[in-house]
Structure 1
Amino acid sequence: MDEFDASRSAARMRDAESPLTGLRERFSVPEDTVYMDGNSLGVHGQDAAAALERAVDQWKEYGVEGWTEADPPWFDYGERLGDRLADVVGAKPAECVAANATTVNIHALVGAFLDAADGTRVVVNELDFPTDHYAIRSRLRVRGLDPDEHLVVVESDDGRTIEADAVAEAVDDDTAVVFMPSVLYRSGQLLDVEAITEIAHEYDAYAGFDLAHSVGVVDHDLHFDGVDFAVWCSYKYLNAGPGAIGGLYVREDHFDLPPAMAGWWGNADDTQFDLAPEFEPARGAAAFQIGTVPVFAAAPLFGALDVTEAAGVGELRAHSLALTRYLVSLVDERLPECTIGTPREGERRGGYVAVEHPDAGKLSRALRDRGVVVDFRPPNVVRVAPSPYYVGFEDVWLAVDEIREILDANAHLAYGEDGEQVT
């Protein structure tokens, strides 16, 4: 095996050889910044901004007629975007729609699949994004079920990872839904979607996933894996902008499932404006739309998907793995004070790396003040997310070099626990 070259010049050479290096030109990375927080919010993209500007211009030109005369018509934004999102997540076109927000979609889909299930328990895990649990607990209470009894929480052995075997031990004949993230938001572990789906199906339970931290950077294959439903946002790796519209997937086997949160935008198109007293669901995932599509929150996704499609999710995944592997190697080489909390195996790693340090909060604040944008997850994680869309190997090198300088100078100790400078 070749010796690892931790030099800046080697990082530049890697960038020169990368097929996706030119993709960065389509984005506006904040000036004088090494941006490593694309797992929270992607940066401004020229394609997304242009799509939004087109929608604004069409509003100016058409007024209300934009619902049918705009290009594309506002009326079917959700379905058109869903057709394109299907390629990103490995689904059939009718199985996806752009709609609502992530938490709303969790309410809607967990509720619908709870209604359809024989069991009454939902299996989650202790390392989930907490707001997913807020929604699921709410859905259980609405059905007269005590969340403390009917929400089964899989525990982690190491505080970093959740293994499929542990999920299997939590599922039984009373399980209605197994709902997991594709990637754990603290550690960056990529869960085995196919294996967890098979576990759920062994007990006639439904398998659902929150893809917020993987869509656009992991090459999912939801339909092939048998996943029953999924939700995601589009403002992280898909770079559609703050507050961008969410997305959802419902496997075609469940197209007859009544939406638990019916709304007029999920009504069949040909009778939607009849305003009949009874809801007539659209065919496919489109039935799970609720309120009127937010045109300006959805429009940027058209442009953002142009970039994803041009690069290809498979190529983006490969570049992401190369960037995170390089990041792990640099931490090993240059930061002995830090440990890696993310699985080292590529197939178990999402798009970011948890760099652990006892003073991670202070370190994160010091990095931001020096132009390296990361985020902190208590108690000890600096999340470093080299988005393959606009981050290069030299950026990764610069981020690690800045950590080295901060630690050498004890510069992070100038910050309190609240992130404010104290000296």
Structure 2
Amino acid sequence: MSARAVAHALFRHQRKMLATLLLCLAGGGATIALSPVQWRAEATLLVEASRPDGAGALAAMLESRDLHAQVLNRFGDRLYPAVPLAQRADAFRHDLHIRPAEGLVRLSLDGPDAALAADALGGLLDRLAEKNRAVFTPQDAGGELARQAVQAREKLAAFRKRTGITEGSADKAALVRRRGELDGETSAAEAEASALADRLTVLKARLATTPATIELTNESERTKVAEDARAKLFELQTREAELLGKYQDTSVTVQNLRAEKRKVEELLGKLETTTQNRVTSGTNPVYQDVEKDAFRTEAALSAAKARLKSSQRQLADLDSRLAALAGSERVLVELEQATVAADSQLTRRTGSGAAIEGIGIVSSATAGSRPVGPAPWVVMAVSGGMGVVLALLLAALAQKFSTRIVTPADVERRLGLPVLTTIPRES
């Protein structure tokens, strides 16, 4: 669409656009006029809690229906004049905002008037202080229950500090797991010591039957001569047997052979005597190896026995600790049950949430200088912007669905005829 066509469409539908813009501005004005002005009062509380969840416990006390009912009895008619009595509690909880943080609780209350919102929030803090003081007042039953709860927690903390037991079941499980590990180590040490003792017995028996020294023969240069003499003697003995089959013992041939044999025997006897004189004794290497193995086995056996004794001592210590823990665990369970019972009684006595010591006011209930919600000029600006957008959208839709033929573009679009020229209309 050309700029001329756009200008024509805006001029043609200017009344519709102006009506749409005025309607949106009127809606914004009506919203400002009809919406009630809300003011917000804020306060901050400091909690010096005796337990880690002090801020959460204080927030629970601030959400108590009893406190809300006391505040509504005093300020309900002025805070919610048009709200039925049965719905005022829900409206008050909707307008009350509680934001607990670490050690702090920030709360705010919305109301139709700044001073009224601040007074109502201050009244809530006053009722909170009265309720907390009532719990810790020595003269009433609530104070006695509070003291009992504090004493139960102190006894439990003292017992845990004295015995070192934080959680009985967890400590017992850790000790039982460690005892199982030690039991396995003790069994392994016993098996190792038994095997080493058996091996040492076998080695000592071998040492008893193995000689420490053995004879060592030194071969001399006469060894070859002795071997030749033995061979010669064997040969002479063989020839003697052959000759005896042919000749008499008294024959010269036999006598000469025997004389030669005696010479060889004498030589061989001298050589054997010389060899026997040269035989010496030495250390038995087998005995040395067995002895070294026995020494190593004995050292390993001593180390295994030391580990076995250490494991047995640790087992005895763990057994005594488990026995002591069994008695201490019963006491711990009784103290925990007493603490839970005291806290439960105190909770039932004080309503929602238990009492908290050390509540301080960091900032008292004060109302802001401006009401809650967007400023009137913001509402009117948003309404005007929406009016402009809707006016342009309305003009575009009206132009698109219009059946009038005014411009050459309308002629070409609706009739499908080309426009060659235009003749201005004479007035």
TM-score of the two chains, using structure 1 as the length reference? 0.16
Structure possessing the higher radius of gyration over alpha carbons: 2
TM-score of the two chains, using structure 2 as the length reference? 0.16
Q: Which has the higher contact order (CA 8 A, sep 6+)?
A: 2
Q: Which has the higher helix share?
A: 2
